[in-house]
Amino acid sequence: MLFKRCILFILLIIIISLSPAVSKTTEEKNQPDASTFVNKDVTFKTNLHFSGKYCDECHEKIPGKDKNMHLKFSGDFTWLCRCHGYTPATYIHPVDIEPSKEKKARIPKDFPLKNGKIVCTTCHDIYKQCQENPEYAQAGEWNRRFYRLQMLFLRGDIKKRTDICFKCHEEQKYQKLNPHMQRNEKGEIIPEICLYCHVAKPDEKTADYEDVKLIGDLKMICQRCHGDMIRHPGGIDHYRVPSTKMYIRMQMLEDKFETVLPLDEEGKLTCITCHNPHEKGVIPKGRRGAKGASESYRHRLPKILCQACHGKLEDLY
């Protein structure tokens, strides 16, 4: 008897889990699908922005002089921005929340709240993309990188992506998260910061590349905050073993510019071949490992990086 009941129960579970009808109805409610597009040629991959077309994917009708934006889906951004698949729960930044008093006082006037809440349009000036702009609409891979911040129609006059954060957040507080800031106001080394990457704080006066022990694979150490950066720099996969000619050249560069261009465990180029992750003043001036610290892009060969490896050698000597 008990055995039979068990079988029945198991069968029931199988039937429920196989039945598409049951799982779909709950999903359909929150998961927008392509049937919500009104233009035949629009899919989840179409770039609606800056095209001067497809107004009717977001607007019931074009807004006039009155304040009514005539937005579809009652202005619900989860639906309006459905191609990106974000919900307030999955977006990288808190949205649909009321700022704390302290934060509210800091938020500049040109970052508008909606019903007192942070929403997508608080940071993204979405009207910018309503107008036609062929430069952005048809931008290829290169221009897209170049115009990235403009194409995201972010508000405020921002040069790099963290600029926008400090419109509302105190820069001081967020420096904790930047492991390249390694000294306090007095200029002393903050040993805890070293542990973001090192197993123990190295002796900056004596330790070499060979002496330091890192908490993981060289590339991963950087990727966990910066993302993959696979086709980088210059859109090229640089993470390879250099040709003999290039290897010899890199050694010449190390001597000429008194720097280090370290390779990874397998002899491949890696992030720290080109970038110095340390703050200026941590590794004492005069040591090769100090070159490039806090320089533009943290380049070990500032201003001449690409040319140093690829340009005419005569230009460097």
Which member of 73, 79, 167, 316 binds ligand HEC (CB under 6 A)?
A: 167
Q: 38, 61 in Cβ contact below 8 A?
A: no
Tokens 């533009």 sit on residue: 296
Tokens 């998961």 sit on residue: 31
Work out how close the CB of 5 gets to ligand HEC at its nearest, in angstroms, rounded to a whole number: 48
CB neighbours of residue 46 within 10 Å: 15
Residues 8-27 that bind ligand HEC (CB under 6 A): none
120 near ligand HEC, judged by CB under 6 A: yes
Q: Which residues sit opposite 97 in a β-bridge?
A: 118
153 near ligand HEC, judged by CB under 6 A: no
In the three-class reduction of DSSP (H, G, I as helix; E, B as strand; rest coil), residue 229 is classed as coil
137 near ligand HEC, judged by CB under 6 A: no
- Closest to ligand HEC by CB, 180 vs 280, is 180
Q: How open is the CA angle 257-258-259, to the nearest 5 degrees?
A: 95
291 near ligand HEC, judged by CB under 6 A: no
Q: 248, 217 in Cβ contact below 8 A?
A: no
44 near ligand HEC, judged by CB under 6 A: no
293 near ligand HEC, judged by CB under 6 A: no
List the end-to-end C-alpha distance of the chain, in Å, as a whole number. 91
69 near ligand HEC, judged by CB under 6 A: yes
Which member of 73, 91, 252, 264 binds ligand HEC (CB under 6 A)?
A: 91
Which window, 11-19, 30-38, 133-141, 308-316, contacts ligand HEC (CB under 6 A)? 308-316
Count of residues for the chain?
Answer: 317
- Closest to ligand HEC by CB, 154 vs 252, is 154
Which member of 24, 306, 311, 313 binds ligand HEC (CB under 6 A)?
A: 306
Residues 211-250 that bind ligand HEC (CB under 6 A): 212, 214, 218-219, 221-226, 229, 232-234, 236, 238, 240, 242-243, 246, 250
32 near ligand HEC, judged by CB under 6 A: no
Work out how close the CB of 79 gets to ligand HEC at its nearest, in angstroms, rounded to a whole number: 10
Of 273, 279, 275, nearest to 249 by C-alpha is 273
Of 122, 147, 145, nearest to 133 by C-alpha is 147
Work out how close the CB of 306 gets to ligand HEC at its nearest, in angstroms, rounded to a whole number: 3
Q: 258, 291 in Cβ contact below 8 A?
A: yes
Of 263, 267, 286, nearest to 209 by C-alpha is 263
